[in-house]
Structure 1
Amino acid sequence: MSTAKYPDLSLADEVFDFHALLSPEEKEWAMKARDFAQTQIRPVIEDDFDKKYFRKELIPLIAQQGFLGMHIKGYGCAGASAVSYGLVCLEMEAVDSGWRTFVSVQGSLAMSAISKYGTEEQKNYWLPQMAKGEKLGCFGLTEPHGGSDPANMKTTAVLEGDTWVLNGAKRWIGLATVADLCIVWAMTDEGVRGFIVPTDTPGFVATAIDGKLAMRASIQCDIELTDVRLPADAILPGAQGLSGPFGCLNEARYGIIWGAMGAARACLDAAISRSKEREVFGKAIGSFQITQAKLADMTLEYEKGVLLALHIGRQKDAGTLNLAQISVGKLNSVREALKIAREARTILGGDGITGEFPVMRHMANLEAVRTYEGTDEIHQLVIGRALTGLNAFS
């Protein structure tokens, strides 16, 4: 592969000079993530995407970088800032959304659920192993009948003596076929509760979803729960009601705000490089006004998206974040990243639909990212509710 097509240093960021806004520690996390993603994932990702292969052997190496649960303090986790975590998400998704999704599912969803709502015994047992990549987690919330209405949850957990019995189904659950534990959310007599379910528990069956045209280098699954019996202490005591899973979803949505801009940057870089190489009518297409206008507009939206992500990250680190801002960021980042990918594809011409360039792969992945962790419509309603004080969900 030509380094001109996949520059080690972002061409867009050379103009942006974004790193001037970061602290030395934040820069260090960003550069560590960029180096890892570019050297370990980029050379193999097109082939993995084509073959629908999740390169599980990279997980110990990712863990060695400190990326798993890196925003959690203690328990073998790095305790890094929200901005640092966001920068890692950006760099991972710059090579493929599937790998940012892995970091999010393990750290922002499964590990965050235990960190936020678990007992000290649960935290001490699971989190150090998960930070090392020795144990993998997944997060069972979405159900087959509709992911946008978790209040209508059909999975149940019934307490029989000192044993919980879980029955139901989940869909689009990342990592479930390779995970060692699943955080399962189920309806109880007290409302929605979370449970740590070892995946080798009888009655727990995960099946990888095939036929995907996006996120092909990662794993998403159906889960069936049939009389899954758990001890009483499998429950996460700190989570009661939908605020439990939503607290974890907001962590994952935050990572998407940054990650989608990584995908956008990769597409923009590919378009910039190609505009200087491809010639029509006797000169490089980058010398034509209309091509430069396209590049300028894409760069504008990329910079705005990253600055919004940084603003939200600074608020998160300061403890002043209005959660509606997460919806603002997720809605904007994914929507604009898709627009950038589509515009970049026009500059690449017919070659843009091939695996020679990352743009179609990113475009397909972003269509999936646009749906999960809240569709555009859900985030529009969250923002609208914040603006008007009126609930339009029902």
Structure 2
Amino acid sequence: LKDNGFFAMIIPKRYGGLEFSALAHSEVLAKIASRSATAASIVAVPNSLGPAELLLHYGTEEQKDYYLPRLARGEEIPCFGLTSPRAGSDATSLTDSGVVERGTFNGEEVLGIRLNWKKRYITLAPVATVLGLAFKMSDPDNLLGDDEREDYGITCALIPTHLPGVTTGRRHFPLNLPFQNGPTEGENVFVPIDYIIGGPKMAGEGWRMLVESLTVGRCISLPSNTSGGARAGLAATGAYARIRQQFNMPIGRFDGIQKVLARIAGRTYITEAGRVMTAGAVDQGVAPGVPSAILKYHATELARQTSIDVMDIHGGKAICLGPKNYAGRGYQSSPIAITVEGANILTRNMIIYGQGAIRCHPYVLKEMQAAADPNRERGLEQFDDLLFRHIGHALSNAAGSLVMGLSLSRMTSVPVDGPTRIFYQHINRFSANFALLSDAAMLTLGGALKRKEMLSARLGDVLSYMYLASAVLKRFEDQGRPAGDLPVVQWACRHLLYQAQEQMHGVLRNLPNRWVANALRLVVFPLGRRYSAPSDRLECRVAELFIRPSRTRERLIGNTFLSHPESNPLAQLEEAMVRTIELEPVEKRLRRAIKDGVVEESTFGQQIEDAVAAEVITRAEADKLIALDKIVMEIVAVDDFDSTELGTKAKPLHRAKPHIKVAPPPGSDEDLPPATGTDTGTAG
């Protein structure tokens, strides 16, 4: 990884890096993740929230010139320490400290910081050579010259891990995934003040630096890793459902399997569409705070659901861990992505809508700024103007919601025609509904809305589903509207918009002001909840696209690692699927011959020989069937181990003596009473 520049994707070429675009960076991570979640995690960290990202945006020229070339060459291995035992989701509650003082460093007396920290869950910490550290800095002796400022707050610095007092090397074992992750501690570590990222002038700016950098990381790292894993799961499961036969037919032909496979395909399409669109926004210079939170939550959640569905279709094959199991570890490790870079419960309940409600509203933020204007006359004038425009905006949304609800979204103009037109119209309608519900929630709840987390989460879901539906439609347009993809696009849009409808219903059911809620229901759902989830027929059409080679399948899983069948189960599955379809007519002739009694039911090998003798199949066809069966049996095989291989030692079973004494046969010596005074030794 170091030798081939995988740690240098975001570093500019002038420092020896690759200077990839956000989309290219995302594609690389997604492909790695389709083969190894461990490798993808190792590559993701140096290219997201870490020393390189922070140095690029905030570092001094001296820091950039020293560290960036070394990071690009892999001479320095970076990590970033934020989370600590007392500061998890609430990163602002850091107890890690740095006190400004004078001390000796490399034999010279310098102004510096005395650091103490205790961090955990830090990826690459066990092998890192440079630690990006977030801590709370204070200057009790005013050595920095600001007499009015003692507590500076969160600050970020670069700490070489070889310094005295720094402890690294121990590892966590996150859900059996062996990527380098572990704790780090520092006790009385003294570093010069210039080790602050950006120099002394950036003291106390750490939280802003982290929030701005985390936004980009959320857009790229986790969505790319989960998308790559989902694509691998789709490729493997579609092929497996085609080659695995039960009741003399591929399991992928059963309705129950098709429903689950359609979910996997639809969710993968949604994740891919969101990943590409949001990475494109980053490349256009946008720091998409709300979209990054949407994508982090939904990409990881969809991937978790996909991993469950992959396990269900594979059945026992996915249960037994070992080298032959390509599904179990993905399922086992899915909570890792759910938890990191903002736990999903926090992201859904507080961040998505909490960030977007004010920031994205056309008037609320401006109204707040006008109300806080120290020039009272000017503030009142601006506030009055904004308020009346806000009222007009709300009335327009109410009228639009009612008209579009009565017309089932038909009474709205959209920029496209064709089979996807109706989805654009539904998004327009739901956008008006969402804006109306947001205004009503803020008006009736005020500041209490932020404490109504379940209500906020539902509003965030509506926003998220519309964003992802827009991404799905954009992907379809960008790829030239391929007709073969339409079933998957329809499934994705129907699923997302149905979920949006149900979450709006949840908002109306739980809005505390019932009079307002009932009035809003008449406007938002004048004809009731008429939008339905994907139909059974549509799900069967979607599933059929992924149990055989198709252009749709190629487009969706095209960047998945599918080479080297000798060592890659996914490549082996692809090969087996193609051969299975090629030999399907031969298998049908063989089954017909068995049914008609021409070939007797027996072992597979004997059936093949009997079929050749009866001229049902040719010898060449028989050889192909035997070769295919060998591959299929290798694929469906599971691992087994000797007890010693599992680190245990077999012990003989201990058999306890019975508690009930069995009567001896009549006339035996044991039937005689014991002699007086003799100890019988009987165990009770």
TM class by shorter chain equals: 0.7 to 0.9
TM-score, scaled to structure 2? 0.47
Report how far residue 211 of structure 1 moved: 4.5
Q: Is the contact made by 2:354 and 2:450 (CA closer than 8 Å) also made in structure 1?
A: yes
Report how far residue 392 of structure 1 moved: 3.3
Report how far residue 245 of structure 1 moved: 1.9
Aligned to 1:184: 133
Q: Does 1:160 find its partner at 2:101? A: yes
**Partners of 1:132 and 1:365 in 2: CA distance:** 30
Aligned counterpart in structure 2 of residue 372 of structure 1, from 340, 345, 365:
340
**Partners of 1:127 and 1:154 in 2: CA distance:** 29
Q: Is the contact made by 1:176 and 1:223 (CA closer than 8 Å) also made in structure 2?
A: yes
The residue type equivalent to 2:208 in the other structure is: S
Q: Does 1:90 find its partner at 2:30? A: yes
Report how far residue 365 of structure 1 moved: 2.1
Aligned to 2:156: 194
Check 1:197–1:387 CA distance in 2 against 1; reply closer, same or farther (3 A cut): closer
Gaps of 5+ in 2: 103-110, 138-150, 359-446, 454-684
What root-mean-square deviation, in Å, do the aligned CA atoms of Structure 1 and Structure 2 show?
Answer: 1.8
Aligned counterpart in structure 2 of residue 274 of structure 1, from 240, 245, 251:
240
Q: Does 1:242 find its partner at 2:211? A: no
Aligned counterpart in structure 2 of residue 169 of structure 1, from 94, 115, 118:
118
Percent of pairs identical after alignment?
A: 27
Q: Deviations over 1:59-114 (max 9, x none)?
A: 334xx1x3323133231111111111111111122223322222222121221122
Report how far residue 167 of structure 1 moved: 0.6
Aligned to 2:450: 392
Report how far residue 321 of structure 1 moved: 4.1
Q: Is the contact made by 2:311 and 2:328 (CA closer than 8 Å) also made in structure 1?
A: yes
Q: Does 1:362 find its partner at 2:330? A: yes
Aligned to 1:297: 263
**Partners of 2:278 and 2:47 in 1: CA distance:** 19
Report how far residue 388 of structure 1 moved: 2.8
Q: Does 1:106 find its partner at 2:46? A: yes
Q: Does 1:329 find its partner at 2:281? A: no
Q: Is the contact made by 2:80 and 2:131 (CA closer than 8 Å) also made in structure 1?
A: yes
**Partners of 2:231 and 2:252 in 1: CA distance:** 17
Q: Is the contact made by 1:141 and 1:245 (CA closer than 8 Å) also made in structure 2?
A: no
Aligned to 1:232: 193
TM-score, scaled to structure 1? 0.80
Which SS does the other structure have where 2:154 is aligned? Answer: strand
The residue type equivalent to 1:191 in the other structure is: G
Report how far residue 386 of structure 1 moved: 3.0
The residue type equivalent to 1:392 in the other structure is: K
**Partners of 2:276 and 2:287 in 1: CA distance:** 12
Check 1:296–1:387 CA distance in 2 against 1; reply closer, same or farther (3 A cut): same
Check 1:68–1:210 CA distance in 2 against 1; reply closer, same or farther (3 A cut): closer
Which SS does the other structure have where 2:263 is aligned? Answer: helix
Check 1:373–1:165 CA distance in 2 against 1; reply closer, same or farther (3 A cut): same
Q: Does 1:67 find its partner at 2:9? A: no
Count of aligned residue pairs for this structure pair: 332
Q: Deviations over 1:149-208 (max 9, x none)?
A: 111010011110202110121110111121110000110121111111000011110242
Which SS does the other structure have where 1:208 is aligned? Answer: coil
Check 1:112–1:320 CA distance in 2 against 1; reply closer, same or farther (3 A cut): closer
**Partners of 2:38 and 2:87 in 1: CA distance:** 22
**Partners of 2:279 and 2:334 in 1: CA distance:** 21
User: Using CA pairs below 8 Å that are at least 6 residues apart, which structure has the higher relative contact order?
Assistant: 1
Aligned counterpart in structure 2 of residue 115 of structure 1, from 56, 72, 75:
56
1:250-269 paired onto structure 2 within 5 Å: 250-254=215-219, 255-269=221-235
The residue type equivalent to 2:86 in the other structure is: H
Q: Does 1:349 find its partner at 2:325? A: no
Q: Is the contact made by 2:32 and 2:40 (CA closer than 8 Å) also made in structure 1?
A: yes
Check 1:170–1:334 CA distance in 2 against 1; reply closer, same or farther (3 A cut): same
Q: Is the contact made by 1:71 and 1:79 (CA closer than 8 Å) also made in structure 2?
A: yes
Q: Is the contact made by 2:301 and 2:338 (CA closer than 8 Å) also made in structure 1?
A: yes
Check 1:248–1:229 CA distance in 2 against 1; reply closer, same or farther (3 A cut): same
**Partners of 1:80 and 1:187 in 2: CA distance:** 33
Gaps of 5+ in 1: 1-58
Report how far residue 292 of structure 1 moved: 2.0
Check 1:387–1:130 CA distance in 2 against 1; reply closer, same or farther (3 A cut): closer
Check 1:79–1:386 CA distance in 2 against 1; reply closer, same or farther (3 A cut): same
Report how far residue 217 of structure 1 moved: 2.2
Q: Deviations over 1:294-330 (max 9, x none)?
A: 2122111100111011111111111234311100001
**Partners of 2:288 and 2:172 in 1: CA distance:** 38
**Partners of 1:242 and 1:340 in 2: CA distance:** 34
More strand as a share of residues: 1
Q: Is the contact made by 2:117 and 2:187 (CA closer than 8 Å) also made in structure 1?
A: yes
Aligned to 2:283: 317
Report how far residue 118 of structure 1 moved: 1.2
Aligned to 1:213: 175
Check 1:103–1:251 CA distance in 2 against 1; reply closer, same or farther (3 A cut): farther
Q: Is the contact made by 2:134 and 2:206 (CA closer than 8 Å) also made in structure 1?
A: no
Q: Is the contact made by 2:23 and 2:283 (CA closer than 8 Å) also made in structure 1?
A: yes
The residue type equivalent to 1:190 in the other structure is: Y
Q: Give the greater-gyration-radius structure (CA).
A: 2
Aligned counterpart in structure 1 of residue 19 of structure 2, from 74, 79, 82:
79
